[in-house]
Amino acid sequence: MLKIRVIPVLFLMNGLIVRSEGFAKFQIIGNPIDELERYSHWLADELVYVDITREGGHDIRREDHRVKSAGDDILAILRQIARSCFMPLTFGGRINSLEQVDAFIRNGADKVLINTAAHRNPALVTEVAETHGSQAMVAGIDVKRIDGAPVVHIDQGRTAVADGLADYARRLESLGAGEILVNSIDRDGAAEGYDLAALRIVAEAVSIPVVACGGVGGFGDFCEAVDEAGASAVAAGNVFHFTEHSYKRAKRTMRNRGLAVRYPYPS
């Protein structure tokens, strides 16, 4: 039986790790290299970094914080992360070409996460799968509810897509995506739990792994994503930033609920 993966997600903005809320509010957490040490110590299954920089470079200094960025170039940041990362590493954000993907893989990423470009240039998904293998091609779907219905959004949540959620997920699979990460814009940073209904729509539409993201407030939310929505893996950001030993506690909660997770800790 395949183990259910528990995946910390780190959002990068201008070279710093930020806490995201609703894809619109951001709080600086720290340096991406410093944060990596915690997850290595926790023996995390995988790690995802997503560059959500909207303007400017990756080494912007601001007077209202004293945290130093990891570098002034996203590939330089990736190389620093890869040197200390001993778990599978996915890197995403602002990827628009196969050349960029090649550079990310060459500089230490095991997988790439592609979202907006998968809609605007569907052939890129196929190119990545054919060049690096479908296991390296993670397709992102950001979902926001409009009049109660889950609607796919791109452009960091600013643009709605006409395609239905199930059809959109099936097309990503047919193009060559090896897995799909579903993130809820409404629940991002809200600690209200995953959008289980949206997750279920995607999980029932495709045969590839579906990763749940967005909204975790407690460790039971991980269990619900698997038990009630059919997720193959669970991901989160904020709950791991602010809760001591949270990764191990999440794994323990899932194991105690009878879920098959890798648990490399003394009982």
pLDDT(243) > 90: no
- Please check whether residue 263 lies inside any domain of the structure: no
Pairing of strands 137-146, 16-21: unpaired
Instruction: Compute the distance between CA of residue 133 and CA of residue 233 in angstroms, rounded to an integer.
Output: 20
- Please check whether residue 183 lies inside any domain of the structure: yes
3-state DSSP call for residue 102? helix
- Please check whether residue 223 lies inside any domain of the structure: yes
pLDDT at site 72? 59
Count Cβ atoms below 10 Å from residue 40 Cβ, excluding itself: 14
- Please check whether residue 235 lies inside any domain of the structure: yes
pTM of the model: 0.92
CATH number of the domain bearing residue 114: 3.20.20.70
List Cβ<8 Å contacts ≥24 apart for 246-255: 246/219, 247/6, 247/8, 247/39, 247/42, 247/44, 248/42, 249/219, 250/6, 250/219, 250/222, 251/6, 253/219, 253/220, 253/222, 253/223, 254/4, 254/6, 254/219, 254/222, 254/223, 254/226
- Please check whether residue 102 lies inside any domain of the structure: yes
What does the pLDDT look like over 98-119, one tens digit per residue?
999 999 999 999 999 999 999 9
pLDDT(6) > 80: yes
Share the mean pLDDT of the chain.
91
pLDDT(168) > 90: yes
Instruction: Compute the distance between CA of residue 58 and CA of residue 168 in angstroms, rounded to an integer.
Output: 32
127-141, 197-211, 243-257: least confident range: 243-257
59 against 188, higher pLDDT: 188
What does the pLDDT look like over 15-69, one tens digit per residue?
899 989 898 889 998 888 888 888 888 899 999 999 999 875 544 344 444 445 4
- Please check whether residue 104 lies inside any domain of the structure: yes
- Percent of the chain scoring above 70 in pLDDT: 93
- Looking at the structure of the chain, the number of domains it has is 1
Is there a contact between 126 and 117 (Cβ–Cβ < 8 Å)?
A: no
Give me the half-sphere count of Cα atoms (radius 13 Å) on the Cβ side of residue 29.
23
Q: Which domain holds residue 220?
A: 5-256
pLDDT(153) > 90: yes
Instruction: Compute the distance between CA of residue 181 and CA of residue 233 in angstroms, rounded to an integer.
Output: 9
pLDDT confidence band for 230 (50 / 70 / 90):
very high
- Please check whether residue 266 lies inside any domain of the structure: no
pLDDT at site 124? 98
Instruction: Compute the distance between CA of residue 194 and CA of residue 22 in angstroms, rounded to an integer.
Output: 13
What does the pLDDT look like over 202-219, one tens digit per residue?
999 999 999 999 999 999
pLDDT confidence band for 97 (50 / 70 / 90):
very high
- Please check whether residue 261 lies inside any domain of the structure: no
pLDDT at site 62? 43
What's the average model confidence in pLDDT over 84-107?
A: 96
pLDDT confidence band for 148 (50 / 70 / 90):
very high
